[in-house]
Chain A
């Protein structure tokens, strides 16, 4: 099974093209993107895709930042195949969307020129969270089918009075005997050896490097902490409520299926201290999501399918984007309850965030200002695609466990538990 990538492609939109692009996005949103010009449903390994317009703005020094179009996809490796399919499968949609951007070669240009252009407009993420690393789209779809087949089979007769082990044996035999399900008796293949080797090296190398740097870090950390606390005390909090108009624009694209798209963009606070801090925090988040939170759980939150942190405009801005289950209110509550410290560490460096103490404390625990600033900084996602609109992240994990339980020996207690997954 492949590992997963979070791809970001960003291109400048010429000012006079912005109204046209806005109209096109709204229209495309109405028509949906599973089929049509993007045909996302036919792209291999594509879990999610979103397109959004970042409006023109000025940075904290008053420098203008032109409007831009951002395409984000969550997709199974390899990257090369995905970039090619963006042109070969989704080409009509890509041509239309990026046709509003400066320098796009256009529908007439050859395939290689367009793929090359997309590649040149890739923006690298600081960190990408994958709910379960290595669980590809094919596997998610297959295991969902497996569960449905087993559920239908269970509905066909009365099982009461049978011992759990007998029921399991019956289900195993049923799956093994069906040509369309027999694959389920084997474990899914792990990601490529190369990927696993790279991750294993990273997992060990980072702590080793930090250990080597320990003397230096022990000297620097207290100074950094004091400077940061002084900066925090100087900052004046500013509570900004989102306008009703902005809320309605966001809500227009939310709460249709099990998952929702999420994207916030904010400015990083000025000064070298914050620039260093945000980079260090992103380094830590990258390590954490690759090696600690790589299976069905982001520090206690089990509703996120994918998330990414992407620095923009030379680290002047930062975007956080995700695909999550349920409504934004529940998502924010989960954040506040479970990973306030992680949010503070990252977003605490952003302008407008509720005041933090020693970076980790305060911040998100100011519920109302926190919810306001997130909603204010949220960017509408008019064009959004999900490959499995009815499945929560918990469902997907449950399906994988159902499949896993078809194999091997099990104690009676384990069998009872496994049957409860159905």
Chain B
């Protein structure tokens, strides 16, 4: 039976990455008073873009941290319905997520214990720079009018096909069942893996905050789809992971230059690219190594129709290559089908944008990594810890992700399987550092309508975290 997604209640980011809106600006904010937050929310609500038919030249999305939801007036017993990882917050999960040393949350621009408080996030997208400027100015004026002074703008965002290291990015995305673009006979992922209140891969509903019907006398919320009679605050919402990942582009290519240098000391550009491709699992064009093992084939640039079963030893695409770790496809289990089922439970809907190409350089260049999931532990955190950062992934010993992995306490090796024996690269530097981040909840429209009309129930939480 086809899933009916409530597209007019779901925020648009779940349905599209706004590739036609090339310019974007995000704003992190915190209100001091509950009334300020609710006034802002009431003003923003009609402007929030949904997943329904879309043709506009701008889009706005809105998400909240636990602190923000509390400040709007959600009581503890409702907050307890959100996942434990969301309640703990990204900064408190730093050991698990590999955010250590230079990526320590204490040094984060925001989201860490020393940074400004974070209640929520607005994400503004526009087709033209001047449209973006105008709408963002309007938004900033609203923040000021509402008396919200803790505002951090994340500007200099750019939609680009290539990530800063120079590789085509964003090729592989899960196709969500029930969305118009999924109707092409490809393998789809159940909506419940990304949107709360729908069935997931196991045919089950992820936990979400439910309220007794009496807490919603005006019936603003949708009912719990299981028929419990409770009001469903989570339905049509999603968890949003936002991480500012700074990429050391110079360091990356410097390292590649050092380890591929010819005996006479000359740079070997071809070998640099080839080794970088081994680390990524795709060539700069995006062509996957399992299909183009020896040289880039730009015609395969957007190819996403491949598996690793024909390359069990990683001779074409190394076992530790970035794309083979973050989505091992059919290679985790001796049975390809069982592996696809297993990896299907760890998919991320990515919505990241690169930054810093024309900025002041304070945080260099990199990626605002964004993903949407229904289960932070099983999806984002699992991929980060068990696949990306795990030095023993896939039978390896000391190989964290060659691009983005944490090098502490281990994981400084990259192994490229070869005949007769492997090539091994030791002492990889840290190429990617986490500079900021937080877990957000991207509510459905009815949930936001409910949040906007909450009343003060007790003393407001103190400003901050």
Binding site for B on A (CB under 8 A): 151, 154-155, 159-160, 162-164, 166-167, 241-242, 244, 247-248, 251, 255-258, 325-327, 329-330, 333, 337, 365-368, 390-392, 394-395, 398, 416, 419-420, 422
Contact = CB atoms under 8 A, between A and B. Distances in A.
A420 B313 contact: yes
Nearest to B80: A241
13 contacts: A154-B421, A160-B420, A162-B420, A164-B419, A166-B420, A244-B87, A255-B96, A258-B392, A327-B382, A366-B204, A390-B398, A419-B419, A419-B421
Contacts, number: 90
Interface stretch (B40-48, B122-130, B383-391): B383-391
A247 B382 contact: no
Tell me the interface secondary structure of chain B in the complex.
Answer: loop
Dominant SS among interface residues on chain A: helix
B419 A394 contact: no
Interface in B359-418: 377-378, 381-382, 385-386, 390-392, 395, 397-398, 409-410, 417-418
A220 to B, nearest CB: 35
Contact of B421 (A159, A248, A392): A159
Nearest to B84: A247
Contacts of A160: 418, 420
A163 B421 CA distance: 10
The 9 closest A-B pairs by CB, nearest first: A392-B392, A330-B386, A164-B420, A167-B420, A420-B313, A394-B395, A329-B377, A159-B421, A327-B385
Contacts of B409: 257
Contacts of B87: 244
A329 B382 contact: yes
A327 B386 CA distance: 7
B424 interface: yes
B202 A365 contact: yes
B410 A390 contact: yes
A8 to B, nearest CB: 28
B16 interface: no
B204 A367 contact: yes
- Residue of B80, B345, B417, B419 with most partner-chain A CB within 10 A: B419
A379 B198 CA distance: 33
Contacts of A398: 395
A403 to B, nearest CB: 15
Nearest to A368: B207
A326 B96 CA distance: 11
Contacts of B422: 154, 420, 422
Given A159-B420, A333-B345, A395-B395, 13 more contacts: A154-B421, A167-B420, A247-B88, A255-B95, A333-B342, A337-B342, A368-B204, A390-B397, A391-B392, A392-B395, A398-B395, A419-B419, A422-B421
B206 interface: yes
A155 B420 CA distance: 13
B226 to A, nearest CB: 12
B420 A255 contact: no
A154 B378 CA distance: 38
B445 to A, nearest CB: 26
B425 to A, nearest CB: 10
A395 B392 contact: yes
Nearest to A155: B424
Contacts of A333: 342, 345, 378, 382
Nearest to B204: A367
Interface of B: 80, 84, 87-88, 95-96, 202, 204, 206-207, 313, 338, 341-342, 345, 377-378, 381-382, 385-386, 390-392, 395, 397-398, 409-410, 417-422, 424, 426
Contacts of A390: 391, 397-398, 410
B382 A258 contact: no
A339 B280 CA distance: 34
A337 B80 CA distance: 28
B89 to A, nearest CB: 11
A393 to B, nearest CB: 9
Contacts of A327: 96, 382, 385-386
A416 B418 CA distance: 10
Contacts of B341: 337
A183 to B, nearest CB: 22
Nearest to B92: A248
Contacts of A325: 392
A241 B398 CA distance: 36
Contacts of A242: 84
B84 A151 contact: no
A248 B204 CA distance: 26
B386 A329 contact: yes
A125 B96 CA distance: 32
Given A367-B204, A368-B204, A390-B410, A244 B84 contact: yes
Contacts of B313: 420
A395 B420 contact: no
A329 B378 contact: yes
A244 B79 CA distance: 12
Contacts of A163: 420
B386 A258 contact: no
Contacts of A391: 392, 397
Contacts of A251: 96
Contacts of B420: 159-160, 162-164, 166-167, 416, 419
B209 to A, nearest CB: 12
B341 to A, nearest CB: 8
A154 B422 CA distance: 9
B392 A394 contact: yes
Contacts of B398: 390
Contacts of B419: 164, 416, 419
